[in-house]
Structure 1
Amino acid sequence: MEDIIQSAIALKRADKADEAISLLSQYLDDPEVSALAHFHIACCYDWQGKEKEAIPHYRVSLTNDDERIDLEEKLRFDALLGLGSSLRCLGEYQAATDTFETLFEEFPDADAAEPFYAMCLYNVGRHKEACQRLMALLLKTTKSEDIALYREALSLYAQDLDRTW
């Protein structure tokens, strides 16, 4: 199956995502690789900007099924990120937010997902929390010495953006 996945990825990168989808579709009913096939089909649709078509495949790839082998941890993370991002792109802000909250329950240190989640929080009106998360991410990941000089103060401010002294 690994060869088929690699072929599908190569087809997608060569702008032949429809061919990759056709190749992977042959495996949707195979419980040993179904979740993997659905995941990569979702990625192909995302690659094409067809988030609406990607979403059902992400959902199936993430669904626990006693008969189907689940995605490995890294791909599960990618599927949750892809699903949340796709939902957000289509204006399904609450569903996207819920998806990212599930992602952070499973992957609490997922820095790569923070900006996507912050956008969702913004979209559902949780502006303060969005800003706080982005500030925390900035302080955690910055290599800027200029920002690092103010890390302690910014960290304190980020805890409560409305506080005054």
Structure 2
Amino acid sequence: MTTDSGDELLAEAVGLRTRGEAERARERLVALADRHPDDAEVAYQTAWTHDALGVEAEAVAYYERALAGTGLSAEDRLGALVGLGSTFRILGRYEEAVRTLRGGLAEFPDDGALRTFLAMALFNTGQHDEAMRILLELLATTSEDPQVRTYRRAIGHYAKDLRETVARQD
């Protein structure tokens, strides 16, 4: 945002969303995005607010504008990638979701949210083995459940190939 008043308007709109007034926030953000079409942060916040309201189809263009622009913090860029990928998935645009989320993982390889949403999108495209591998690896590396931790090594091993078996010798 180039002006102090613009920054204040953006902060006010984000505050409205945070306080549960997403529709009022959306109205302000859409007007702000119209006035500042090249502002990636405004576009991101506008997309996020559309998602919060359940109007995902309207969020897509704002996410794409945010990601095409410059000036997003790494945290907001990550949020926009997760948001766009998950929005594509919920809209049934599974291949676009996979592409977006894989691209996000190229930038943020350790992000669990990206990996989780990628696994869901892969499931939707019929790539069940890869989806399961991603989720098992995530579970093995991030779970604090004591029982999962006990079997962390085995889960990580089998994540590579769930079809692996040992021939029984009778």
TM-score by length of 2: 0.86
Amino acid at match of 1:100: L
Aligned twin of 1:139 = 140
CA distance in 1, matches of 2:159, 2:57: 35
How many Å separate the matches in 1 of 2:153 and 2:55?
Answer: 43
Match of 1:10 in 2: 15
Instruction: Tell me how far apart the structure 2 counterparts of residues 79 and 10 of structure 1 sit (CA, whole Å).
Output: 18
Match of 2:56 in 1: 51
Query: Which ranges in structure 1 are unaligned for 5 or more consecutive residues?
Result: none
CA distance in 2, matches of 1:14, 1:148: 38
How far has the Cα of 1:164 moved from its partner?
1.5
Partner of residue 84, structure 2? 83
Give the partner amino acid of 1:102.
Answer: G
- 2:36 equivalent to 1:30: yes
Helix, strand or coil at the partner of 2:134: helix
Cα distance change, pair 150–60 in 1 and its aligned pair in 2 (3 A): same
Deviations for 1:47-88, whole angstroms, at most 9, x for unmatched residues? 100000000100011114xxxx43121111100100011110
* Equivalences for residues 143-154 of structure 1 within 5 A: 143-154=144-155
Consecutive unaligned residues in structure 2, runs of 5 or more:
1-5
Could you tell me whether the CA contact under 8 Å between 1:84 and 1:95 is conserved in 2?
Answer: yes
- Percent identical among aligned pairs is 34
Where 1:26 maps in the other structure, the secondary structure is helix
Q: Offset at 1:158?
A: 1.1
Q: Secondary structure at the match of 2:92?
A: coil
What is the rounded CA distance, in whole Å, between the counterparts of 1:91 and 1:51 in structure 2? 11
Match of 2:65 in 1: 60
Are residues 1:71 and 2:72 paired?
yes
1:10 counterpart letter in structure 2: G
Structure 2 residue identity aligned to 1:155: G
CA deviations on 1:74-106 (whole Å, 9 max, x unpaired) are 111100100011110010000001000010011
Q: 1:160 maps to what in 2?
A: 161
Q: 2:24 aligns with which of 11, 14, 19?
A: 19
What is the alpha-carbon root mean square deviation over aligned residues?
1.7
Residue 153 of structure 2 aligns with an amino acid whose one-letter code is E
Aligned residues between the structures: 160
Q: Which has the larger radius of gyration?
A: 2
- TM-aligned CA deviation for residue 12 of structure 1: 1.6
Q: 1:21-45, CA deviations, whole angstroms, 9 ceiling, x for partnerless residues?
A: 33232344437x7111111111111
